[in-house]
Amino acid sequence: MVAVAILAAGRGTRMKSDLPKVLHSLGGRSLVERILHSVAAIAPARQIAIVGYRGDLVKNALQSFTSLEFVEQTQQLGTGHAIQQLLPHLEGFGGDLLVLNGDVPLLRPETLKLLLDTHQQCGNSATLLTAQLPHPKGYGRVFCDGQNIVKEIVEDRDCTAAQKQNRRINAGVYCFRWSDLAQVLPQLQPNNDQEEYYLTDVVKFLNPVMAVDVEDEREILGINDRKQLATAYQILQTRVKDNWMAAGVTLIDPDSITIDDTVKLHPDVIVEPQTHLRGATVIGAGSRIGPGSLIENSQIGENVKVLYSVVTDSVVQEGTKIGPYTHLRDRVQVGAKCRVGNFVELKNATLGDRTNAAHLSYLGDATLGNQVNIGAGTITANYDGVKKHRTKIGDRTKTGSNSVLVAPLTLGEDVTVAAGSVVTEDVPDDSLAIARARQVVKKGWRLKTT
């Protein structure tokens, strides 16, 4: 049986932030959320987050993890002190405890499994993840005998010049036989530069403690400052983009593209430069997104083109062309084979199939049928200063250029609205609506110049 404890009580002083470090966002998810996602794969019997600095904020942010338990560490006296807080909660627990630093967000589930398997197969008292780093500065150094049996862990700031030469570092990910750990936790002493109770000191009292090197050291990066947060983002981006390219997605100039790891792409999607795909976005096969586009929490069908546009919380069906310079927001649904073009904003609007709004329009709170043609400059006046109102436009209806549709308003099917109209009354099917002053031509009229 495995229980997991996540150390999330520290402030993260080096972040220079009011926000607890573990709540800082990395590619759309907080550091601690990322850890919880990796942990889910090993299906632990219990999951406990140790919270302290602005603990209520951390608890709130993790509400969706319903099986997560919280344990308070009211004063942050060190990582060992944090784990000491578990003693009353895990009394009599007979399994292994996996401990994860809340600031090591890039761990892959495979690595956690490897650590657990090694721990259990070798019958270790403790097993910890280590890495050999070219630049080990800032990490605790792990001293082993030839058989990867750990003798001591010394924090960077407590190392002698000679000890600093050791490049094997503690990743902050440990597996303990809980009954052994529970025995030795009370023996920790704050005999170090920070005068803290270090979890790493327990290795002196346990036997055997084994070190397991991680295959790819990029995944154990600990986030202590903003620079490391940026480095972690780069690592995550490389991982995500390499995956999608291997899965048949073309990325043109990958360095200029960002893709959250919550996004799903189908084969033969082409992502052009300066494009950013975020949140729960899905892009269908054969679609071409970008250059210069931002798609957030949206579903894009197959063979769609999106050019220099921003799409949020919306759905676009197959074969539709969006852009250049289109803004879809707030639950827009665009049907198949539509064209939504140059300088068009759609807000909370639904468009049927083969409907076009190609130039300079605002359609807000509107429902359009199939094969509607919205003339250049058509605007739905959806707001009367107090309330928003809907505009409904039937199949095959055409609005002339520069028409204003004053909501609430219903245009039937096969309606034509004359250019320049301000339409304030509903129009039945098969009708022409002209709502503008008639043109006056005064023959033989000339400007008097004297």
| Bridge partners, 207 (sequence order) | none
| Bridge partners, 153 (sequence order) | 142
**Tokens standing for residue 50:** 């140790």
How many other C-beta atoms can be found within 10 angstroms of the C-beta atom of residue 445? Answer: 7
Question: What phi, psi does 16 have (nearest 5°)?
Answer: 50, 60
> Can you tell me the distance from the alpha carbon of 70 to that of 51, in angstroms, rounded to the nearest whole number?
7
Pick from 264, 162, 155, 261: nearest CA to 200: 155
Q: What angle do CA 30, 31, 32 make, to 5 degrees?
A: 95
- Told to check if 102 binds Ca ion by CB under 5 A, we report no
52 class by beta-carbon count within 10 Å (0-12 exposed, 13-18 middle, 19+ buried): buried
> Can you tell me the distance from the alpha carbon of 91 to that of 74, in angstroms, rounded to the nearest whole number?
20
Pick from 124, 138, 111: nearest CA to 180: 124
> 79 is in the binding site of which of Ca ion, ligand UD1, none (Cβ under 5 to 8 A by kind)?
ligand UD1
How many other C-beta atoms can be found within 10 angstroms of the C-beta atom of residue 374? Answer: 32
Encoded amino acid at 360, one letter? L
Which residue has the closest beta carbon to Ca ion?
A: 222
- Told to check if 103 binds Ca ion by CB under 5 A, we report yes
> 73 is in the binding site of which of Ca ion, ligand UD1, none (Cβ under 5 to 8 A by kind)?
ligand UD1
> Can you tell me the distance from the alpha carbon of 279 to that of 283, in angstroms, rounded to the nearest whole number?
12
135 counts as catalytic = no
> 30 is in the binding site of which of ligand UD1, Ca ion, none (Cβ under 5 to 8 A by kind)?
none
Kindly tell me which of 50 and 310 has the beta carbon lying closer to Ca ion: 50
CB of 213 to ligand UD1, least distance (A): 14
Which residue has the closest beta carbon to ligand UD1?
A: 140
CB of 57 to ligand UD1, least distance (A): 13
CB of 40 to ligand UD1, least distance (A): 19
CB of 85 to ligand UD1, least distance (A): 9
Kindly tell me which of 103 and 260 has the beta carbon lying closer to Ca ion: 103
CB of 103 to Ca ion, least distance (A): 5
Strands 68-72 and 126-132: unpaired
List residues near ligand UD1 by CB under 6 A: 7-10, 21-22, 50, 73, 76-79, 81-82, 101-104, 139-140, 153, 155, 169-172, 198-200, 222, 224
Are 316 and 298 spatial neighbours (Cβ–Cβ below 8 Å)? yes
How many other C-beta atoms can be found within 10 angstroms of the C-beta atom of residue 411? Answer: 27
> Can you tell me the distance from the alpha carbon of 269 to that of 425, in angstroms, rounded to the nearest whole number?
45
- Told to check if 140 binds Ca ion by CB under 5 A, we report no
CB of 378 to Ca ion, least distance (A): 56
> 140 is in the binding site of which of ligand UD1, Ca ion, none (Cβ under 5 to 8 A by kind)?
ligand UD1
> 412 is in the binding site of which of ligand UD1, Ca ion, none (Cβ under 5 to 8 A by kind)?
none
SS3 state at 372: coil
Are 58 and 8 spatial neighbours (Cβ–Cβ below 8 Å)? yes
How close are the terminal C-alpha atoms of the chain, in Å? Answer: 102
Kindly tell me which of 163 and 224 has the beta carbon lying closer to Ca ion: 224
Kindly tell me which of 101 and 124 has the beta carbon lying closer to ligand UD1: 101
Kindly tell me which of 173 and 334 has the beta carbon lying closer to Ca ion: 173
User: Which DSSP category does 200 fall into?
Assistant: G
Q: Which one from 37, 89, 266, 359 is the annotated catalytic residue?
A: 359
Kindly tell me which of 224 and 303 has the beta carbon lying closer to Ca ion: 224
Are 5 and 83 spatial neighbours (Cβ–Cβ below 8 Å)? yes
CB of 37 to ligand UD1, least distance (A): 16
* Binding flags for Ca ion, 217-256, as an x/- string (CB under 5 A): -----x-x--------------------------------
**Tokens standing for residue 290:** 């970008």
Kindly tell me which of 13 and 424 has the beta carbon lying closer to ligand UD1: 13
Residues classed as catalytic: 359
What does the binding site for Ca ion look like in residue numbers (CB under 5 A)? 103, 222, 224
